[in-house]
A and B are shown apart, each in its own frame.
Chain A
Amino acid sequence: MSRINAITDAVIKPVKWVSERPFVKNKLCGGFQKQNMAAPYEKNLGNTVMKVGLASIVLKDGLGCVMYVKQSLNNKEIPEDKRKFVAALDLTNGALMIIFQILTALTISNAVVQKRMLNKLFGKYLSRDAAKTYKAAIKETTTKKLTGEAFHEGFDDVRRDLLGVFDSVVTLVASTIIGKRVLVPLVATPLADKVKDWMNRNDKPAEVDAKTKNTYDTETPSAIVKSQNLVEKYKAENNITV
């Protein structure tokens, strides 16, 4: 038990230090509050949440990509003929993943776009008239006391809830499954071919010692080679030109 407490203390100390930095405490937390606690009618909420998300993608995936590529290229345990392709795929996969996630954050995962998408898909069920109908239904069936303001308070929470679920589901399906796992590898693999070729651009052909050079022609049978040589020799001796 004391060991667990010791681990917790060791983790909490740096976390507390980070939490009390003015940049985190005022700027980032302030930005999060503005977006997380806004009334439904409020606009211009800033984009701190998105910025932190994007910074996280670029830093994590960017650094990860560089490290994976470097380590793959230097990993002697990966067969030499496959090493460069593995590294190339790490590079294209990583780069595309970053680009794709930035695009996703700016489009389908963007709060404004999501709100519009939710309204487009379920707008009828979340409209003012729908709200009035739900309210009437609640009044009919529940013994709880209900006023317009109380209902709208609850309905705003439902709306916020649904937006959150919608965000998770859309991000999961469009970004995590289709985007990151289907589109990115689909494009990254052929791109990796090109990157591998680019990596090989300066490779010289393997140097072979003259003494151990294999002069055996594997493509033409030796009988044919021999007869061709004899014909050439005969032509040269008799000055025959064709």
Chain B
Amino acid sequence: MKTEKIQIFSKNLAVQNKPTANNTAFTGTIPYHRVNKDDIYPFLPASFRVMKKIKNNMGEAQNIIINAVGTALVAPIFIKWNPFSKTDEETRTYTAWRQPVSAVLAIITQVGITIPFNKIIDNAANTGDMGVNYNRNSFQDKKYLAKQLKKNHPKLSDSKIKPMAENLYKKQEQIILDDIEARNKIEYNMRGKNKESIGTLYHEVVNETMDDLIRGTKHNLEMLDYKSEKRLERAQFYRKNEDFCKGIIAEIDTKVNNINASDVKEDDIKGLTKFLKQKIDSIKRDKTKKEMAKVLDEIYVRCIVLNDPKVAYKEVCDKVSRVKEYISIDAKDDTNLAKLLQEKTANEYEELSTNLKKLREIQDDMKKSGLPVSKIQERIDDFVTKFNNEAIHKYFTNPEINIKTPLTEELTTELKEIAEKFNTDEIIPDRKKLLTRLQEIVSDEFKKVDFSALDDYSFAEKVLKKYTGKIESNIKCLKQVTGLVVSLAILPFTCILLNWTYPKFMDIFFPHLSNQKHSKETKKFVDKTAENCEVKS
């Protein structure tokens, strides 16, 4: 049975679910490299990348312009050539021209007032002019940093400024992290004042971070039953429909094996996708076989989501062989599986509920005595991390190995093994101690290994993420509220402006529609003559 990994804490902590008798508890959190969403995008379908591009290029100004273009070009068509209206066309045409005029005025007022207003708020948040809840002076955004760099170094190109701004941003984050870990506080700058602590906001952020961990653990507990229920359902299906399942999977297996594994082409995957789609469609019709359609869908997804046919093929092969294995195990006896699942769930349940209990204890202590983040980290590490790797153990406990230790073949191999561990989900103990140790013994060969992963994602980092997230969300909210106030405040002006501009625009460009058939001088003359000719009673 496949060992399922379970989440202990929603995002940052994981335990490999292989409890053994030799497990030794060590302090330390699980190190891993933080994957940026930008690392994932290249692997997603083209449509997602297009959507992302739209998002990046869609600023406030673009939104206003699209809106205005719609008002100016689309709306008038449906007023002038409206098939349901009985009003004469001349009046409709006259009224339709109000739309483009109002669109131009909207661009002027919104681009001229709303956007600069939001920029002022953003700027104030960066420079430290805003209060503690809206102040991002200690983590100024990359755009602002790049702007400042450009101001100070006008000769630098944008391609150089971008990484510099990113570095500066990371440095800012590091300062906050150090403050959290070493001094149990976050400081911020108010313009014209000295640095000061964010005060109660800090405790709020730390408490909420702990709340998140507890909620994540609770969620994982709730998911345990769901997962094993689903697994049992599938096992029962395999048992009841053993021949059918084996037949289908054998067909797919043959199809997969016909592909040349050393030279997988896009067309091979396309052919496999088509075959799977047809199979799914034919199985789906029979409601009793729906579960098999789901299984095939899981294989199908592996074919369609990637651009790289080789990886897709490898993934499909893995999945097919797993399904084959499951069918042959589950078809035999599901009582045994149920028992195993029950045991597994019970183990996981016990582990998770213990963690939950301990997290709640920490939370209680936080309320009573305001535990510093470093202590919280220690206590979490205490019960979360398990260690079962002799090689690593040897290296960080052996005082004889240091930077001067010659790199023997054996040492190189073992160091490589350690480095490999950072590429896996393996749990590594006491990350800081190990990091120091590895840095001591590391040679040029290992300098390319990114050990920064070891410092990633501590409780402090969660606190930092919570803090920056809160401030960003507050700024967003404030922009929306003040945006509403500004819009309401300028409404009378835009209204007056439209009513002043619109008839004048029509008089100038469409005099025949605005009853201005004559020039102003002629009109005056006509009016005067009409007055003189009037019959006086």
Q: A151 in the interface, Cβ–Cβ < 8 Å?
A: yes
B165-173, B253-261, B310-318, B520-528 - interface stretch: B310-318
Q: How many angstroms from the CA of A166 to the CA of B425 in the assembled complex?
A: 33
In the complex, how many angstroms separate the beta carbon of A185 from the nearest chain B beta carbon? 4
Indicate whether A145 sits within 8 Å of B129 (C-beta atoms), given known contacts A32-B476, A185-B75. no
Whether the pair B54, A60 counts as a contact (CB closer than 8 A) is: no
Whether the pair A52, B481 counts as a contact (CB closer than 8 A) is: yes
Within B466-518, which residues are at the interface with A (CB < 8 Å)? 466, 469-470, 472-474, 476-478, 480-485, 487-488, 491-492, 494-496, 498-499, 502-504, 507, 514-515
Q: Which residues of B contact A212 (CB under 8 A)?
A: 535, 537
Q: How many angstroms from the CA of A125 to the CA of B40 in the assembled complex?
A: 13
Q: Which residues of A contact B14 (CB under 8 A)?
A: 147-149
Whether the pair B314, A181 counts as a contact (CB closer than 8 A) is: no
Indicate whether A181 sits within 8 Å of B75 (C-beta atoms), given known contacts A32-B474, A148-B5, A153-B34. yes
- Across the interface, A77 reaches (CB within 8 A) one of B79, B300, B422, B503, namely B503
Q: How many angstroms from the CA of A208 to the CA of B455 in the assembled complex?
A: 93
Bits for B441-452, please: 1 = Cβ < 8 Å to A, else 0.
Answer: 000000000100
A20-28, A219-227, A233-241 - interface stretch: A20-28
Indicate whether A8 sits within 8 Å of B470 (C-beta atoms), given known contacts A63-B488, A138-B40, A212-B535. no
Indicate whether A63 sits within 8 Å of B491 (C-beta atoms), given known contacts A149-B7, A176-B66. yes
Q: A130 in the interface, Cβ–Cβ < 8 Å?
A: yes
Q: How many angstroms from the CA of A85 to the CA of B94 in the assembled complex?
A: 10
Q: B306 in the interface, Cβ–Cβ < 8 Å?
A: yes
Q: Which residues of A contact B63 (CB under 8 A)?
A: 168, 172
Within A50-91, which residues are at the interface with B (CB < 8 Å)? 52-53, 55-56, 59-60, 63-64, 67-68, 71-72, 75, 77-79, 81-82, 85-86, 89
B20-28, B116-124, B144-152, B366-374 - interface stretch: B116-124
Q: A242 in the interface, Cβ–Cβ < 8 Å?
A: no
Within A1-17, which residues are at the interface with B (CB < 8 Å)? 8, 11-12, 15-16
Q: B344 in the interface, Cβ–Cβ < 8 Å?
A: no
Q: Which residues of B contact A110 (CB under 8 A)?
A: none
Indicate whether A134 sits within 8 Å of B301 (C-beta atoms), given known contacts A19-B131, A36-B469. no
Within A112-170, which residues are at the interface with B (CB < 8 Å)? 122, 124-125, 127, 129-130, 132-134, 136-142, 144-158, 161-162, 164-166, 168-169
18 more CB-based (< 8 A) A-B contacts, given A133-B306, A192-B95? A19-B131, A36-B473, A36-B476, A67-B492, A71-B496, A124-B305, A136-B311, A140-B310, A146-B423, A151-B40, A153-B11, A155-B40, A162-B52, A165-B55, A185-B75, A185-B79, A192-B87, A212-B537
Pairs A–B under 8 Å by Cβ, sample size 25? A8-B120, A11-B117, A15-B478, A18-B482, A32-B477, A55-B484, A63-B491, A71-B495, A81-B91, A130-B305, A140-B314, A141-B308, A147-B32, A149-B13, A150-B35, A154-B39, A157-B37, A158-B40, A158-B44, A172-B66, A176-B70, A180-B70, A181-B71, A186-B84, A192-B95
Name A's B-contacting residues (CB within 8 A). 8, 11-12, 15-16, 18-20, 24-25, 28-29, 31-33, 36-37, 39, 41-42, 52-53, 55-56, 59-60, 63-64, 67-68, 71-72, 75, 77-79, 81-82, 85-86, 89, 122, 124-125, 127, 129-130, 132-134, 136-142, 144-158, 161-162, 164-166, 168-169, 172, 176-177, 180-182, 184-186, 189-190, 192-193, 196, 209, 211-212
